[in-house]
């Protein structure tokens, strides 16, 4: 039952969430505000520092620096909570829509960049290439 729920969530619901976020992302508001646009890299770095540093507390004792860095980068990704909180903030009138767009933009970039860099740091790319080279041609 759990595997079926995960298949539905990751195969259907999560892609719909990301599509919805991309479609409703207010790029015009972000591009119109130089301040908000300049905050995107700052928010991206803040995600990495704050969430990545907190993740170091959960790293195993024998983890290497590369593994700890990858863990921090994976933990720094965050879009769903950012989208939810900024939507509430804008609806309640406590958050400017340009700042909300900057936060969501940083969240989108974190989901795009951080996992890719983390997998490269961990060496997953080399392992994948090795598996591809050693697999017989007709095998999937």
Q: Tell me if 76 is assigned to some domain.
A: yes
Name the percent of the chain lying above pLDDT 70: 88
Q: Is residue 7 assigned to a domain?
A: no
User: The whole model's pTM is what?
Assistant: 0.74
As a whole number of angstroms, the distance between CA 117 and CA 109 comes to: 12
Tokens of 66: 């590369």
Position 8 scores a pLDDT of 78
Number of folded domains that form the chain? 1
Express each pLDDT in 5-36 by its tens digit: 777 777 777 777 777 777 778 889 999 999 99
Domain presence at residue 92: yes
37 in a structural domain: yes
Structural domain boundaries, residue 79:
27-134
**Contact present, 30 and 108 (Cβ < 8 Å):** no
Cα 47 to chain centroid, rounded: 10
- 137 backbone dihedrals φ, ψ, rounded to 5°: -55, -40
Please check whether residue 15 lies inside any domain of the structure.
no
131, pLDDT greater than 60: no
Does 2 reside within a domain? no
**Is 22 inside any structural domain?**
no
Residue 74 lies in a domain: yes
């Amino acid at each position: 039952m759990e595997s079926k729920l995960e298949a539905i969530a990751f195969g259907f619901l999560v892609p719909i969430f990301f599509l919805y976020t991309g479609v409703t992302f207010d790029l015009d508001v972000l591009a119109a505000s130089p301040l908000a646009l300049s905050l995107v890299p700052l928010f991206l770095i803040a995600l990495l520092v704050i969430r990545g540093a907190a993740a170091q507390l959960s790293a195993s004792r024998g983890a290497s620096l590369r593994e700890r860095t990858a863990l921090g980068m994976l933990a720094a990704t965050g879009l769903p909570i950012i989208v939810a909180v900024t939507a509430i903030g804008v609806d309640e009138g406590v958050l400017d829509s340009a700042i909300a767009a900057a936060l969501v933009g940083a969240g989108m970039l974190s989901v795009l960049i951080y996992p890719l860099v983390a997998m490269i740091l961990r060496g997953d790319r080399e392992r994948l290439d090795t598996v591809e080279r050693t697999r017989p041609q007709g095998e999937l």
